[in-house]
Amino acid sequence: MSKSVSHTSTLTADVLVHNVRLVRAPSVSEQSWAVVENASVAWQQGKFIYVGSTEHAPKIEAGEVIDGQQQWLTPGLIDCHTHLVYGGNRADEFEQLQNGVRYEDIARAGGGIKSTVAATRALTEDELYESARLRLLPLIHEGVTTVEIKSGYGLNIESELKMLRVIKRLNTELPVTVSATCLAAHAVPAEYLGRDDEYLDLIINELLPLVKAEGLAQAVDVFCESIAFSAEQSKRLFRAAKDLGFAIKGHVEQLSDSQGTEAVCEYQGLSADHVEYVSEGQVKKMAAANVTAVILPGAFYFLKETQKPPIELFRTHQVPMAIATDLNPGSSPLGSLLTAANFGCVLFGFTPFEAFNGITVNAAAALGLANQKGRIEVGYDADCLLFACEHPRQLIHEINLHRPTQSWHLGKERPNL
d(Cα 58, Cα 300) in Å, to the nearest integer?
49
**Residue 104 Cα distances to 94, 110, 188, angstroms:** 13, 10, 14
Condensed to tens digits (0 to 9), the pLDDT of residues 233-282 reads 999 999 999 999 999 999 999 999 999 999 999 999 999 999 999 999 99
Query: What is the 8-class DSSP label of residue 401?
Result: -
* Domain co-membership, 348 together with 398: no
CA distances from 99 to 48, 89, 103, 257 (A): 52, 18, 11, 27
pLDDT at res. 1: 42
Lowest mean pLDDT among 46-55, 91-100, 126-135, 151-160: 91-100
Whether 88 is covered by a domain: the verdict is: yes
Q: Does residue 4 lie in a domain region?
A: no
Q: Is the pLDDT of residue 4 over 60?
A: no
Among 313, 325, 316, 322, CA closest to 291: 322
Q: What CA–CA distances, in Å, run from 24 to 36, 76, 383?
A: 8, 10, 12
More confident residue, 416 or 355: 355
pLDDT at 34 over 90: no
pLDDT at 303: 86
Q: For the chain, what is the radius of gyration of the CA atoms?
A: 21
Judgement on whether residues 157 and 194 belong to the same structural domain of the protein: yes
Please tell me the predicted confidence (pLDDT) of residue 48.
98
Geometric angle at alpha carbon 401, from 94 and 148, rounded to 5°: 60
**248 beta partners:** 220
Greater model confidence, 33 or 137: 137
Residue 344 lies in a domain: yes
My answer on whether 23 and 122 are in the same domain is no
Tens digits of residue pLDDT in 92-110:
888 888 899 987 788 778 7
For residue 243, the Cα-to-chain-centroid distance in whole angstroms is 24
Based on the domain organization, do 345 and 253 belong to the same domain? yes
On whether both 94 and 240 belong to a single domain, the answer is yes
The pLDDT value given to residue 109:
82
Q: What is the pLDDT of residue 6?
A: 39
Q: Are residues 70 and 82 in the same domain?
A: no
Where does the pLDDT of residue 30 fall: very low under 50, low under 70, confident under 90, or very high at 90 and above? low
Q: What's the pLDDT band for 219 if we cut at 50, 70, 90?
A: very high
pLDDT interval class at 113 (50, 70, 90): confident
DSSP for 8-28? T-EEEEEEEEEEEEEEEPPPT
- Based on the domain organization, do 409 and 295 belong to the same domain? no
Q: Count of domains in the chain?
A: 2
Q: Is residue 5 part of a domain?
A: no
In the chain, % of residues over pLDDT 70 = 96
pLDDT tens by residue, 137-191: 999 999 999 999 999 999 999 999 999 999 999 999 999 999 999 999 999 999 9
88 lies in which domain range? 77-366
Same domain assignment for residues 89 and 184: yes
Q: What is the CATH number of the domain that holds 390?
A: 2.30.40.10
CATH number at residue 221: 3.20.20.140
The dihedral through the CA atoms of 326, 332, 337, 342 has a sign that is: negative
Classify residue 3: in a domain, yes or no.
Answer: no
Read off the pTM: 0.95
Q: Percent of the chain having pLDDT more than 90?
A: 87
pLDDT at 9 over 90: no
Task: Kindly list the distances between the CA atom of residue 19 and the CA atoms of 26, 40, 282, in Å, as whole numbers in the listed order.
Answer: 21, 6, 46
Write the Ramachandran bin of 253: left for phi over 0, alpha for psi from -120 to 50, otherwise beta: left
* Mean of the per-residue pLDDT values of the chain: 94
Q: Average pLDDT, stretch 213-231?
A: 96
Q: Is the pLDDT of residue 28 over 70?
A: no
CB contact at 8 A, 66 and 56? no
Given a cut of 70, whether residue 5 has pLDDT beyond it is no
When pLDDT is cut at 50, 70 and 90, the band that residue 8 belongs to is: low
Looking at the DSSP assignment, which residues form a beta bridge with residue 226? none
Query: For helices 125-142 and 337-348, what crossing angle results, to 10°?
Result: 60
User: Is the backbone of residue 45 left (phi > 0), alpha (psi -120 to 50) or beta?
Assistant: left
188/265 same-domain check: yes
Side chain identity, residue 415: P
Q: Answer with the residue of higher pLDDT: 8 or 53.
A: 53
Whether 3 shows a pLDDT value over 60: the answer reads no
Q: State whether 288 and 341 are in the same domain.
A: yes
Phi, psi for residue 36 in degrees, rounded to 5? -125, 120
Q: Is 1 a member of any domain? A: no
Residues 274 and 127 in one domain: yes
Does any domain span residue 240? yes
First to last CA, the chain: 34
Assess if residue 15 is contained within a domain.
Answer: yes
Do 201 and 84 share a domain, yes or no? Answer: yes
Tell me, what's the pLDDT at 31? Answer: 67
Do the Cβ atoms of 52 and 101 come closer than 8 Å? Answer: no
